């Protein structure tokens, strides 16, 4: 695989299911290649809902999805769901810094800065803060991913649009991504919702076709040091 993915990889996501929607196929490819994968999830992803499912059920789904794509069991935090903008950014960044100290990742994957969901925006900023390019910092590459029903629903400002410039071939691991999303069955919707299984698969195939592949996931390279 691309040398951007050498060494341990840390995925930092706001809600359980964001990690699979954003980069589940890539995670599976990395695991198959022997790359160590870690996942940090910042909220329970359900407590802001009037019809919220049990948070333990969502965590169990996240653990099942991690096993499918070959990641270590996720580390869960309890920031307020869909209200992370009420928390001082430094508190979120410090937890990311703690994960970096523990995992020592060479690459961090996280949310796109322009997503509609405010938690995604805060997590992106926290990762950038935690990965300030100080001399000797262990993180060499930071990549952002898109999440269905957030990235494409961004405010209509050109600076908020997700423009992938790195494409990962997931032809052989798309089925694993879809299986991991089935573990999150309570989060998936029926077509024609943008977060349906059909829409996720269609996006993967269309994105792949746009660069001559059968299926792909796209990333924006935020920073990479070789």
Confidence of residue 1 (pLDDT cuts 50, 70, 90): confident
Task: Give the Cα-Cα-Cα angle 125, 72, 23 (nearest 5 degrees).
Answer: 50
Distance from C-alpha of 223 to C-alpha of 165, rounded to nearest angstrom = 12
The pTM score is 0.96
Q: Is the pLDDT of residue 51 over 70?
A: no
Provide, for the chain, the percentages of residues in helix, strand and coil under a 3-state DSSP scheme, each rounded to the nearest 5. 40, 20, 40
Q: Of 77, 80, 4, which Cα lies nearest the Cα of 35?
A: 4
Q: Is the pLDDT of residue 209 over 70?
A: yes
Burial 2-25 (b: 16+ CB within 10 A, else e): eebbebbbbbbbbbbbbbbbbbbb
Q: For the residues of 12-35, what is the DSSP string, one character each?
A: EESSTTHHHHHHHHHHHHHHHTT-
3-state secondary structure (DSSP) of residue 182: helix
> CB-based contacts of 191: which residues, under 8 Å, 6+ apart?
198, 199
Q: What is the pLDDT of residues 162-197, one digit of tens each?
A: 999 999 999 999 999 999 999 999 999 999 999 999
Q: What is the pLDDT of residues 100-155, one digit of tens each?
A: 999 999 999 999 999 999 999 999 999 999 999 999 999 999 999 999 999 999 87
Domains of the chain: 3-224 (3.40.50.10320)
Distance from C-alpha of 18 to C-alpha of 123, rounded to nearest angstrom = 12
Distance from C-alpha of 5 to C-alpha of 226, rounded to nearest angstrom = 11
Q: What is the 3-state secondary structure of 42-98?
A: EECCCCCCCCCCCHHHHHHHHHHHHHHHCCCCCEEEEECCCCHHHCCHHHHHHHHHH
């Amino acid at each position: 695989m691309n040398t951007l993915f050498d060494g341990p990889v840390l995925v930092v996501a706001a809600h359980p299911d964001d990690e699979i929607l954003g980069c589940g196929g890539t995670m599976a490819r990395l695991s198959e290649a022997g790359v160590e994968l870690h996942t940090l999830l910042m909220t329970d992803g359900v407590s802001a809902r009037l019809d919220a499912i049990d948070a333990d059920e969502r965590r169990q789904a996240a653990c099942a999805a991690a096993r499918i794509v070959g990641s270590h069991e996720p580390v869960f935090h309890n920031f307020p769901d869909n209200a992370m903008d009420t928390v001082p950014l430094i508190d979120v960044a410090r937890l990311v810094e703690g994960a970096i100290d523990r995992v020592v990742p060479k690459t961090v994957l996280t949310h796109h800065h322009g997503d509609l969901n405010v938690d995604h925006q805060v997590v992106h900023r926290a990762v950038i803060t935690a990965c300030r390019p100080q001399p000797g910092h262990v993180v060499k590459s930071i990549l952002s991913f898109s999440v269905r029903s957030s990235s494409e629903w961004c405010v209509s400002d050109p600076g908020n649009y997700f423009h992938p410039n790195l494409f990962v071939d997931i032809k052989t691991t798309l089925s694993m991504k879809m299986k991991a999303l089935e573990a999150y069955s309570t989060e998936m919707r029926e077509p024609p919702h943008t977060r349906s299984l059909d829409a996720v698969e269609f996006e993967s195939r269309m994105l792949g076709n746009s660069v001559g592949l059968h299926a792909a996931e796209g990333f924006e390279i935020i920073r990479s040091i070789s």
